[in-house]
Chains A and B, each alone.
Chain A
Amino acid sequence: MMVSRSGRAEAPPDTPPATGARRRPDPLRLAAGVLVLILLAAGASTDRFLTLDNARAILASTAFVGITAIGATLVMIAGSAVSLAVSQTATVVAMIFLATQPLGLGTSLLLALLCGVTVTAVQGAVIGYWAANPIVLTIAAGFATGGVATWISDGTTVSAEVPRYDVLNSTPLGLPLAVYVLLAVTALAQWTLRRTTAGRQMYLVGENRAAAHAAGLPVGRVTVVAWAFFGACIGLTGVFLASFNTGANSALGGTLTLDAIAAVLAGGTAIAGGRGSALRTLGGALLISIISDVLLLRGYSTGIQILVKGLLVLAVVLTVHLRSVRGRR
């Protein structure tokens, strides 16, 4: 039903967008299809790719970055783009986790996660209530957090004298525990986004913050919820990193910040907010792991792996952009 718009004299009618555009194939689906085909071909022709051990390795390598990336998805959907303080936050969480091991696993876990949630949610509050620029704010927060990490560790490696974290390194049914946590976090995030008021409001705030503000939606609170969830995810990653490495120095976080962003973007979530999903991010994280794995098995250097990762993210971001531009016509 396209109402013909006669329009009043002084307002030239804005042309209703053509509905025909939606019948053309969706470039994102098309690109995903092509990519899966290429991967299947490459995988089938690569020695040792189609083995159970390799599948396990892929899942295991997805888990750490994946958990953080799921949290980053909520923040990106809610319109606060990205955090550049992820590695540093994970490092501090890892150090607190290891340092509090004598208190028992439960207590140390709780303290570590609480730290991740608090540090990140505070940044979210500044962004949500006072409309701070997330890039600038998290660069500053990243330096501050990194500084604290170096300060408490005094530049050395923190480790636990009586480790209680062995259970985190266990591999029930042959898969690392982190993989199960990743799946659980993904499911929780997906449910939050789709089925809860807060999740729905994240999409709305992310798409049009001014409209959400004028409608009286709780922009600040929604932003804080997204960032708090993100903080919990970063905390989980930090705890797993600490257990896996049995120690934490100020470089523990490594490239986690950018890896997580890459996974979210590769999943096709829009950096400008308002669109995306946790399942997509899981797909993006898996995709990056699979491609790295194929390249690794085929004997390409780490440099090539990183380069390909960059190209992949670029390709997906371009596709998403083209799609949204076309959608607006």
Chain B
Amino acid sequence: MEGLEAQLRRLRLDKGLVDVTSEFRELASRMVPESVIKAPSFDLFEGTHSLEIDNPKLDSSLLALTEKELNFDCTKVYGEATEQKVEFVTAVVDRLCRTIVLWLNDFQTLPTTVLSCRYVAHILCQFTEDPCADLSSCQLETGDELFDQVLASCVIAVCYFVKFVQTLFKAGVVYEEEDLNCNAMGLNVLSTVQLPTVKSHLARSQKLLEKSYPQAHQLQMLLMLLMHLVEVYGLLPTYFGSTSQVDHEHTLNKLIETSRDLEQFPLPDGTVYQGAFSAVIQKKMSNQFPPRDIILPTGKEYTALADMVQDLRFVLSVDQAKTVTEIAQFSRFFNRVRPLHVVARAFYPLNLMRDDQTVLAQYTFDEYSQLHLEEFSFCDTELYKLLKNEPQTSGVKQKFQDFLQEISGALFEWYQTSSQNPCRSRQGFNRQLLMWDSLQAQIETYELELESQGIADQLEDGSSFMPLTTWVFYMKLRAMLDFVLKGFELDVYKPWEFFSMFWYSYYLAQHLENTLHRVLNFIEARIDSMVALNKKIKKLKAGEKKEKLREAYRAGMSSQMPVLMKNKDFIKYSLLDCSVIKILSLAQVFQFAVLKSFGLIDNQHPGSGRFSSPERVHKLRFKTFASIGVPELPSYGSFQQSLQDFVITEPMFETKLARSLDFNEVELSKVKSSLQSVFQDIEADSGQTRARAGTQLVQKQALEYYQGLLRSTDALIINGKTLRSKLGNRRRDDLSTAYTVGISRTQGGCSYFPLLKLDQRKP
């Protein structure tokens, strides 16, 4: 207590205070037990986030520290002989590099990883107090150059990488606590320091090591690693403008190489750190977070670091895309089967959709949105042709531009969703639904207006095409499908919900298929008419008319025709993709119905009767879709009726059952052949005379996804056979006492299609 009293005297807190302890106790004793006295404006909810004195989970003062940790001194030289000093500095720098990986890969906090290093805290405290851009305030001052120059460089470099991650984090694509913890304890992480300053600091250290410590081999490698690691900051799109282009490919390759080289060194004995890594920062510095144990390296950090850099290199490769479809396909697949490293996920959208309102510095947002339309349904439509010759000021054009902006907003959401964690991604699709839905309503009105002015496209059957509405509808259906199916991936649905969810996804896929067919019909008609034009020209006599037509034909062949051909390929691929989802969903519906036919499952919530009802629970599940205009959500009754239609009943139970299971098998074998065609499309893209699936930059990832679907298809076929053999041919009452229905996930299968399998009931 004397220590505290002395401190209070120093702070002049020992005088002028009146002890009110007993008065407070007296006042409290007069309070009604269940009451709380508080400021009227204070919400007790805030109080739930408070820390608490002497609560081991909430009081960071309780963190236990060893003598060594308490006495650790950043201004002291550790080690007597050069060899010992090198060993110490190497161990600290090595651990520091590993803490980056512990921080990012295991979703740990900064205070338990990078900031657990006393040198980091020391240097950042200095910088926070005196933020000198030339790093002159960041000193160790031990009097030994190995510490003051080399170790300081390394600490600064690691902090600079933290700054890079902080910058990504601030862009708001990944989420605090879920994806990443960026709590820097209020320290300023080198905000004003420029990359070249850090690089030259490191370069001085490299020179020093070469000259005076040639034996410090591992330390030299670590410096090399850090040199490349700080260069990663240069990948930030905001940075491009201010410096000459860095060779990113080279930097990242070197980084991977050096990480791999460092894998060979074993973790040193923990005593070598002398207390340089500890919970001191949590205990001694301002801290509004609960205490947490510091995280120890496991030895696999450099492998993980190399993996992180590979993911980063991979997402950067999107800038090689030649069409918008390729970028969209990249976004669809890059983070799908295997979630990418959080740094790559955070970097991707930031790099793609830049602060300067461009996509990859190649297209403005409006151009990009227009290309999205053109590479689907818009090319060679009446509005498309009209806009080509329309002046900027025309009303039609202005309105079209307005829509492009709205579309950009929705696309922005769609692209962001692609790089989020799986839970956020499902919610992202949910949010998009209303966006696409209202956009569709607006664009439809616009297109109807255009039609009334005679700007209209018709399909062969005479119905109107409405290319813009069609595209929005297509995007909306895809988001709806992803939202529904992602629920299976995240284990959100119980077995009894499988029927409703798969029947609905089948329903959506049917709408999507129809939409794609309409687009294909339109594109084929445009292609045919252009070909027909050539024939027409040949029949014409030479003259002005012929020349005019020939001109139009040439222009069409050179500009629209290649786009139409490409679009046709992509739509055909999309139709295959859609049919796979459709039939797999249908197969799930069939298998559910078979299980129901044997009394093993029902689509009603088994326990909902007491406080709710099956219908109400169903409506809650479909709440999002109930507000969507098109396609209309089928009524609860339709869901029930359609299940009845699938369920097999007497008479002729056996025959109907066999027919149902056979049909299922035939359909599933069709899926397998569709998937083979998709594989061909994807593989053909690498040779690329012309891209069909647009997946050339994500070939591996796309193949992985479709191979997963293939495995799920096989698993469904086998499951059908198992059901057949286990259940027999006749409806029996004892089956539900023998079996329960559970969910099974196929090894390497598509996460959208878990199976309903029979489990032997436990006695």
Q: Do A and B come from one complex?
A: no
